Amino acid sequence: MTKINGADAMLKVLYDWHIDHIYGFPGGSFDSSMNAIHDFKDKIKFIEVRHEEAGALAASAEYKLTGKLGVCFGSAGPGAAHLYNGLYDAKFDKTPMVAIVANVPTSRQDIDFFQAFDEDKWFLDASVWCAQPKTADLIPTLMDEAIRQAYAKKGPAVLIISKDLGWQKIDDNFRVTYQNHVKPNYAAPTKESVEDAVKLLKEAKNPVVYFGNGAREADAGEELKEFANKFKTPLLSSYLGKGIVEDDFPAYMGTIGRIGSKAPNEIQSHTDLVVWVGNNSPFSVLWFPKDAKVIQIDVDSDKLGKRHSVDVSMLADAKKALRAIIDAGEDKEETPLYKAALADRENWDAWQDSFKDSKEMPVRPEPIWDVINKEAADNAVFAIDVGNVNMDHVRLLKMHDDQKWTTSGLHATMGYGAPAALTAATVYPDREVWELAGDGGFAMMSQELLTMARYNMHVLNIVFSNDTLGYIQAEQEDESNQPLSGVLIPGNDWAKVAEGMNVKGYTVRTKEEFEKAVKEWKQTDGPALIDIKYTHEMPYSTELNTLDDPAFVKKYQAEDLKPFSYFAEKYGIATDAASGASQHEEEAEPDPEPDTTSGASQH
Backbone Cα Rg of the chain: 25
Alpha-carbon distance 409 to 386, whole Å? 9
Alpha-carbon distance 595 to 302, whole Å? 26
Query: pLDDT grade, residue 582 (50/70/90)?
Result: very low
Q: What average pLDDT does the segment 18-42 reach?
A: 95
Q: Looking at residue 332, what is its pLDDT?
A: 96
- The pLDDT tens digits for 343-396 are 999 999 999 999 999 999 999 999 999 999 999 999 999 999 999 999 999 999
Amino acid letter for position 261:
S
List the helix and strand counts (H, then E) for the chain.
24, 20
Report whether pLDDT(599) > 60: no
**3-class secondary structure, 475:** helix
Tally of CA atoms within 13 A in the half-sphere of 296 that contains its CB: 21
Q: b or e along 213-224 (b: 16 or more beta carbons within 10 Å of the residue's beta carbon)?
A: bbbbbbebbebb
Q: Looking at residue 28, what is its pLDDT?
A: 86
- The pLDDT tens digits for 287-335 are 999 999 999 999 998 998 889 999 999 999 999 999 999 999 999 999 9
The alpha carbon of 130 is separated from its chain's Cα centroid by a whole number of angstroms, namely 25
List of residues 6+ apart from 75 with CB closer than 8 A: 25, 26, 27, 28, 29, 30, 52, 102, 115
Amino acid letter for position 109:
Q
Pick the closest to residue 329 from 234, 233, 230, 236 (CA basis): 230
Query: pLDDT grade, residue 601 (50/70/90)?
Result: very low
The answer to which of 100-114, 245-259, 438-452, 569-583 has the lowest mean pLDDT is 569-583
Percentage of the chain beyond pLDDT 70 is 94
Q: Looking at residue 598, what is its pLDDT?
A: 37
Amino acid letter for position 128:
V
User: Which domains are assigned to the chain?
Assistant: 3-180 (3.40.50.970), 191-339 (3.40.50.1220), 356-533 (3.40.50.970)
Q: b or e along 421-433 (b: 16 or more beta carbons within 10 Å of the residue's beta carbon)?
A: bbbbbbbbeebbb
DSSP 331-373: P-PPPHHHHHHHHHHHHHHHHHHTTTT---SSBPHHHHHHHHH
- The pLDDT tens digits for 486-535 are 999 998 999 999 999 999 999 999 999 999 999 999 999 999 999 999 99
Report whether pLDDT(596) > 80: no
The answer to which of 35-44, 176-185, 317-326 has the lowest mean pLDDT is 176-185
Query: pLDDT grade, residue 114 (50/70/90)?
Result: low
Q: Looking at residue 574, what is its pLDDT?
A: 74
Q: What values do phi and psi take at 31, rounded to 5?
A: -60, -40
Spatial contact of 545 and 557, defined as CB atoms under 8 Å apart: no
Spatial contact of 103 and 29, defined as CB atoms under 8 Å apart: yes
Phi-psi region of 377 (alpha: psi -120 to 50; beta: other; left: phi over 0): beta
Spatial contact of 446 and 385, defined as CB atoms under 8 Å apart: no
Q: What average pLDDT does the segment 142-168 reach?
A: 96
- The pLDDT tens digits for 535-579 are 999 999 998 999 999 999 999 999 999 999 999 999 998 754 323
Pick the closest to residue 225 from 241, 209, 202, 238 (CA basis): 209
Q: Looking at residue 115, what is its pLDDT?
A: 57
Q: b or e along 72-95 (b: 16 or more beta carbons within 10 Å of the residue's beta carbon)?
A: bbbbbbebbbbbbbbbbbbbbbbb
Q: Looking at residue 163, what is its pLDDT?
A: 85
Element (H, E) at 53: helix 52-66
Q: Looking at residue 523, what is its pLDDT?
A: 96
Spatial contact of 317 and 186, defined as CB atoms under 8 Å apart: yes
Q: What average pLDDT does the segment 16-38 reach?
A: 95
| 528 CB burial (10 A radius; 0-12, 13-18, 19+) | buried
Q: What average pLDDT does the segment 267-275 reach?
A: 96
Q: Looking at residue 8, what is its pLDDT?
A: 97
Tell me whether strands 312-315 and 293-298 are parallel, antiparallel or unpaired: parallel
Spatial contact of 127 and 114, defined as CB atoms under 8 Å apart: no
Mean pLDDT of the chain: 92
Alpha-carbon distance 424 to 448, whole Å? 13
Q: What values do phi and psi take at 565, rounded to 5?
A: -60, -30
Q: What average pLDDT does the segment 118-146 reach?
A: 93
| 205 CB burial (10 A radius; 0-12, 13-18, 19+) | middle
Alpha-carbon distance 299 to 277, whole Å? 10
Q: Looking at residue 583, what is its pLDDT?
A: 40
Q: b or e along 284-307 (b: 16 or more beta carbons within 10 Å of the residue's beta carbon)?
A: beebbbeebbbbbbbbeeebbeeb
Q: Looking at residue 590, what is its pLDDT?
A: 43
Cβ atoms < 10 Å from Cβ of 121: 9
Alpha-carbon distance 9 to 33, whole Å? 10
* Crossing angle (nearest 10°) for helices 417-427 and 52-66: 60
DSSP 287-300: SS-TT-EEEEEES-
Percentage of the chain beyond pLDDT 90 is 85
The answer to which of 221-230, 254-263, 410-419, 567-576 has the lowest mean pLDDT is 567-576
Report whether pLDDT(425) > 50: yes
